[in-house]
Amino acid sequence: MTTLKGTKIFLRALEPEDLEFIYVIENDESIWEVSNTITPYSKFLIRQYLENAHQDIYEVKQLRLAICKNNTFEAIGLIDLFDFDVKNQRAGVGIIIQNDSNRNSGFGKEALSLVIDYSFQHLQLHQLYANIGTDNTASLALFTTFGFEKIGVKKDWNFANYAFHDEAVFQLIKK
């Protein structure tokens, strides 16, 4: 896959050097709710994952890309296509920018734009969807900016911080 480049960031395939970055993200309990994680990941498991990260999206049904600021190779976030479904031409999309200092800077917006274009043009998808907590105002604003429409709410879907939380399903259909 070629590098996907925007004006502020570029997306690249994962590299073995991303082990520590992914380890920190996957073990950050504050984002476990959005990643549906309930247990920590070992460096051993992440190393195994990275060794297989070269596999084609058509084989593993997912694609995880590192979000990097232009002029640097260091990852600041991740963007994922998951539940890749060739027959029905759809996939889920998720994004995380690791540090608060890099949020609200347009990096996530540009990464999502690049992945939408890649999904519709190169992967020939018909639609993308996202599952977003109804209290995640930043993600709600980001996805609706690109025309994702709320198609439903899953009541009491996720349990976090000793309470149940609703999760909305958003969908973007290629025009």
What is the average per-residue pLDDT within 104-127? 96
Say yes or no to pLDDT of 1 above 60. no
Q: Look up the pTM and report it.
A: 0.89
Domain boundaries, given as residue ranges, for the chain: 4-131
Distance between CA atoms of 76 and 128, rounded to whole angstroms? 23
pLDDT score of 34? 60
Coil, strand or helix: which one is 131?
strand
**Helices (H), ranges, the chain:** 19-26, 32-35, 43-51, 57-60, 107-121, 137-145
Comparing 134 with 50, which gets the higher pLDDT? 134
Percent of the chain with pLDDT over 90: 62
Q: Are 46 and 78 in contact (CB under 8 A)?
A: no
Q: Are 84 and 61 in contact (CB under 8 A)?
A: yes
Smallest CA-to-CA distance from 10 within 58, 81, 79, 84 is with 79
> Domain 4-131 falls in which CATH fold?
Aminopeptidase (3.40.630)
DSSP 2-27: PPEE-SSEEEEE--GGGHHHHHHHHT
